[in-house]
Chains A and B, each alone.
Chain A
Amino acid sequence: MGILENIFTAQFIYTIIRVSTPLIFASLSSLIARRAGVTNITIDSTMLMSALTGVLVSAFTGSLWLALVSGMVVGIVMGIFMGYFHIMMNTNMILTGVAINTFTNGAVVMILYAFTGDKGSSSMINSLGVPGLEIPLIKDIPILGEILSGHNIFTYVAFLMVIVVWFLMYRMPLGLRIRAVGENSSAAKSVGENPTKIKLIALGLSGFFASLGGMYLSMGNMQVFIVGMTSSRGFIGVAADAMGQGNPVGAMLASLLFGSANAVGNVLQINSFSTDVVMAIPYVVSIIGIIVYSAREKQKRESKIKRAIAQAEKLQGV
């Protein structure tokens, strides 16, 4: 099939949704942290670590639930650990991120090697996976059914989480406090809030969402752990959050945008485009996405000013 024919199909949109799943989790992870005033660049590492944890625990205990919970715990712990060093020990975020990133890259290989004897992937052991879900009734609707039904459970959870996070940030006390701490932590302090506590909670939540993204990769999308399998999706999530302006719905939309770039890349690959070009597409699109968005914001502000000046001049007959 030609490229265009591949794109305008329900299958393609299904793919976009599937591929965007980890990005949505990553962007929500970034969002919560950023609203609390912390730009979390350890999301990718957290995803990776949780991905490994889920696979190892499921393989060695045979329990899917235990695996999922372990992964979540690891994610939360990593978030709080990062928070401890960044906030309480006053370490610059980039250094904290570098440290955790480096640590994870090394630890993941060492742990994998220790438990499976392999330094590249967990293919030697049998880990469990989270199944997909066919939604009754919807799955029978032509086209829409193909797009919406049959996704992995993680995917449905991702979209659900977008709504949950929205309510959290805008309708619940914790969300208000997180926003207050993020915008003006002195203000929060002055009413007796402990900004550190709130930030740690936010980072714990951030780690939680990152863990879901990671476990989707190794237990939803595929049933194996591969070193480096996040492919910096954690950072694309940060980009998506930036584009979404700190709003959960915006982050979701941006994630879908980057997901489509990924999907387009897959189509191109089938049509024998160079692998390198294909692999580069999501990153290029992410960069262009952030740039275009920021540039447009800037231009919007400037043209608003220009129009107002022009109007004033017209009124004064200048």
Chain B
Amino acid sequence: MSNKQLNQVFSVVKTFLAIVIAMVVAFVIILVVSDEPMEALYAFLLGPFTSVRRIGNLIENTIPLIYVGLGVCVLWATGKRTLSGEGCYYFGGLMAALASIKIYFIHGKSLTVTSMVIVLVVCGIMALLPMIVNLKYGTDAFVVSLLFNYVMFYIGNYIFSNYLMDITSTSSGSYPLPTDSFLPTLIPGTKVNANLIVALLMIVAVWFFMYKTKWGYSIRLVGLNPNCAKYVGINVFAVCILAQFIGGAISGFGGGMEMFGRNPRFAWFSLTNMGWDGIMVATLAKYKPQYILFSALFLGYVRTGADIMNRSSDVASEIVMIIQAVMILFIGANSFLAAMQQRVRVKYNEKAEKEA
């Protein structure tokens, strides 16, 4: 076994172990907190599969995670890690609602498409500020993006409160979005719509962009060694801006698509935390678009299970956050199992010698 293969095997083992440890921690918490742990566990683990509607929930929960996960893959590819996905996802939802409610001269699916184009452009642009100031003045990209998310939220909330809020209806939220702009439902009895297909296509598109085009390659090279990229003549500034634009646009797209079918009205009264979830999904997928589907599905499954458990037992759904946290911690821990890996490496080297 070559050293590279050894590293790959250990990488998979580490990810697997991280998930296992996280689930064990969750089980322990459930056991401690709940008066009926077995029922809670059943709801958590098997709940998502117990009805068509619940399977639908699972898929519905997974789809936005795909988008934010892809968003982070691109946003973080240059090595400058921002949290812009969070603000952009929210703002995408808002812009989609704003566009579809206020643009009265376009109808139907054309309205959907128009709104989403607006979302892509606006969210892409909104994601740029933290990166621009980082590149020009050296400010901390993460901190500025995090602070700017709040600014984005308050701008959005202002628009929401003053232009979109439907005070007449009993359920709080915006005016209802035009139903003829909704995406066609795929699975009857659920809210799973054509968004699923679009999300899958988005995975392919992002993978292709990152690995088969020169822009994607430039982005990755800047992430691997920005100095080398500069020396080789790549315009690092432009590349970082591009990555941020596309990552923000994808995140916003994820938020916007939630409006056309899944949510009849816009009712996000705070930042959704999807940005943080996107980081989780992307990290679990090792920042590779081709694995996003699986990590999004896993997190969607955990999410859905926790929601079901929350409703049918006494364990709060916030337990998902603890699971996520433990997973990220162990996956991100590069030294996790490093000692063991080194011992195996030495042993393999000796064996190779003996056989030679």
Asked if A pairs with B, the answer is yes
A residues apposed to B, CB below 8 Å: 39, 41, 85, 88-92, 94-96, 98-103, 105-107, 109-110, 113-114, 119, 232, 235-236, 238-239, 242, 274, 276-277, 279-280, 283-284, 286-287, 290-291, 294-295, 298
Instruction: Please list the 4 inter-chain residue pairs (A to B) with the smallest Cβ-Cβ separation, ordered nearest first.
Output: A106-B321, A103-B325, A89-B333, A294-B137
Residues of A contacting B139 in the complex (Cβ-Cβ under 8 angstroms):
242, 290-291, 294
What number of residue pairs across chains A and B have CB atoms under 8 A from each other? 138
Q: Is the CB–CB distance between B143 and A95 below 8 Å? A: no
- Name the one of B158, B321, B334, B335 contacting A102, with C-beta atoms under 8 angstroms: B321
Q: Is the CB–CB distance between A107 and B276 below 8 Å? A: no
Stretch from B146-154, B208-216, B218-226, B243-251 contacting the other chain: B146-154
Binary interface profile of B, 254-280, with partner A (CB < 8 Å = 1, else 0)?
000000000000000000010010011
Residue in A closest to B137 when the chains form the complex, CB atoms:
A294
- Name the one of B144, B318, B328 contacting A95, with C-beta atoms under 8 angstroms: B328
Residues of A contacting B33 in the complex (Cβ-Cβ under 8 angstroms):
110, 114
Looking at chain B's contact residues, is the secondary structure mostly helix, strand, loop, or mixed? helix
- Name the one of B29, B81, B316 contacting A109, with C-beta atoms under 8 angstroms: B316
List CB contacts (< 8 Å) of B311-351 with chain A: 316, 318-322, 324-326, 328-329, 331-336, 338
- Tell me whether A99 and B316 are in contact in the complex, defined as CB-CB below 8 angstroms, given that A90-B335, A283-B151 are known contacts: no
B133 within 8 A of A: yes
B283 within 8 A of A: yes
Q: Is the CB–CB distance between A286 and B147 below 8 Å? A: yes
Q: Is the CB–CB distance between B333 and A91 below 8 Å? A: yes
B138 within 8 A of A: yes
Residue in A closest to B132 when the chains form the complex, CB atoms:
A291
Residues of B contacting A101 in the complex (Cβ-Cβ under 8 angstroms):
276
Q: Is the CB–CB distance between A100 and B154 below 8 Å? A: no
Q: Is the CB–CB distance between B325 and A236 below 8 Å? A: no
List CB contacts (< 8 Å) of B151-185 with chain A: 151, 154-155, 157-158, 161-162
In the bound assembly, the distance between CA atoms of A110 and B320 in angstroms comes to: 11
Residue in B closest to A239 when the chains form the complex, CB atoms:
B143
From B29, B279, B326, name the one whose CB has the most chain A CB atoms within 10 angstroms.
B279
Q: Is the CB–CB distance between A106 and B154 below 8 Å? A: no
- Tell me whether A276 and B157 are in contact in the complex, defined as CB-CB below 8 angstroms, given that A89-B336, A95-B283, A287-B147 are known contacts: yes
Residue contacts A-B, CB under 8 angstroms, 28 given = A85-B333, A91-B333, A92-B332, A95-B279, A98-B280, A99-B325, A100-B325, A101-B276, A102-B321, A102-B324, A102-B328, A106-B319, A107-B318, A113-B316, A232-B150, A274-B158, A276-B154, A276-B158, A277-B158, A283-B154, A284-B151, A286-B147, A287-B133, A287-B148, A290-B144, A291-B133, A294-B137, A298-B136
Q: How far is the CB of B275 from chain A (nearest CB, A)?
A: 10
In the bound assembly, the distance between CA atoms of A242 and B144 in angstroms comes to: 11
What is the size, in residues, of chain B's interface with A at 8 Å between Cβ atoms?
A: 46
Residue in A closest to B327 when the chains form the complex, CB atoms:
A99
Q: How far is the CB of A64 from chain B (nearest CB, A)?
A: 29
List CB contacts (< 8 Å) of B10-31 with chain A: 29
Q: How far is the CB of B139 from chain A (nearest CB, A)?
A: 5
Residues of A contacting B155 in the complex (Cβ-Cβ under 8 angstroms):
276, 280
In the bound assembly, the distance between CA atoms of A291 and B328 in angstroms comes to: 31
Residues of A contacting B154 in the complex (Cβ-Cβ under 8 angstroms):
276-277, 279-280, 283
In the bound assembly, the distance between CA atoms of A41 and B154 in angstroms comes to: 23
Looking at chain A's contact residues, is the secondary structure mostly helix, strand, loop, or mixed? helix
In the bound assembly, the distance between CA atoms of A91 and B329 in angstroms comes to: 7
Q: Is the CB–CB distance between A283 and B319 below 8 Å? A: no
From A39, A99, A109, A119, name the one whose CB has the most chain B CB atoms within 10 angstroms.
A99
B142 within 8 A of A: yes
Residues of B contacting A277 in the complex (Cβ-Cβ under 8 angstroms):
154, 158
Q: How far is the CB of B107 from chain A (nearest CB, A)?
A: 31
From B142, B273, B325, name the one whose CB has the most chain A CB atoms within 10 angstroms.
B325
Residue in B closest to A236 when the chains form the complex, CB atoms:
B147
Residue in B closest to A103 when the chains form the complex, CB atoms:
B325
Q: How far is the CB of B204 from chain A (nearest CB, A)?
A: 27
Q: How far is the CB of B144 from chain A (nearest CB, A)?
A: 6
Q: Is the CB–CB distance between A110 and B333 below 8 Å? A: no
- Tell me whether A98 and B328 are in contact in the complex, defined as CB-CB below 8 angstroms, given that A283-B147, A290-B144 are known contacts: yes
Q: Is the CB–CB distance between A109 and B318 below 8 Å? A: yes
Residues of B contacting A92 in the complex (Cβ-Cβ under 8 angstroms):
332
In the bound assembly, the distance between CA atoms of A149 and B119 in angstroms comes to: 52
Residues of B contacting A232 in the complex (Cβ-Cβ under 8 angstroms):
146-147, 150
In the bound assembly, the distance between CA atoms of A102 and B154 in angstroms comes to: 22
Residue in B closest to A119 when the chains form the complex, CB atoms:
B316
- Name the one of A85, A100, A238, A280 contacting B140, with C-beta atoms under 8 angstroms: A238
Q: Is the CB–CB distance between A106 and B318 below 8 Å? A: yes
Q: Is the CB–CB distance between B280 and A102 below 8 Å? A: yes
Q: How far is the CB of A241 from chain B (nearest CB, A)?
A: 10
- Tell me whether A235 and B161 are in contact in the complex, defined as CB-CB below 8 angstroms, given that A99-B332, A105-B321 are known contacts: no
Residue in B closest to A39 when the chains form the complex, CB atoms:
B140
Residues of B contacting A39 in the complex (Cβ-Cβ under 8 angstroms):
140
Q: How far is the CB of B147 from chain A (nearest CB, A)?
A: 5
Q: How far is the CB of A96 from chain B (nearest CB, A)?
A: 7
Residues of A contacting B144 in the complex (Cβ-Cβ under 8 angstroms):
287, 290-291
Residues of B contacting A103 in the complex (Cβ-Cβ under 8 angstroms):
321-322, 324-326
Residues of B contacting A90 in the complex (Cβ-Cβ under 8 angstroms):
333-335, 338
Residues of A contacting B329 in the complex (Cβ-Cβ under 8 angstroms):
85, 91, 95-96, 99
- Extra inter-chain contacts (12) besides given A110-B319, A114-B33, CB under 8 Å: A89-B333, A98-B276, A107-B318, A107-B321, A119-B316, A236-B147, A242-B140, A276-B155, A276-B157, A277-B158, A280-B151, A286-B147
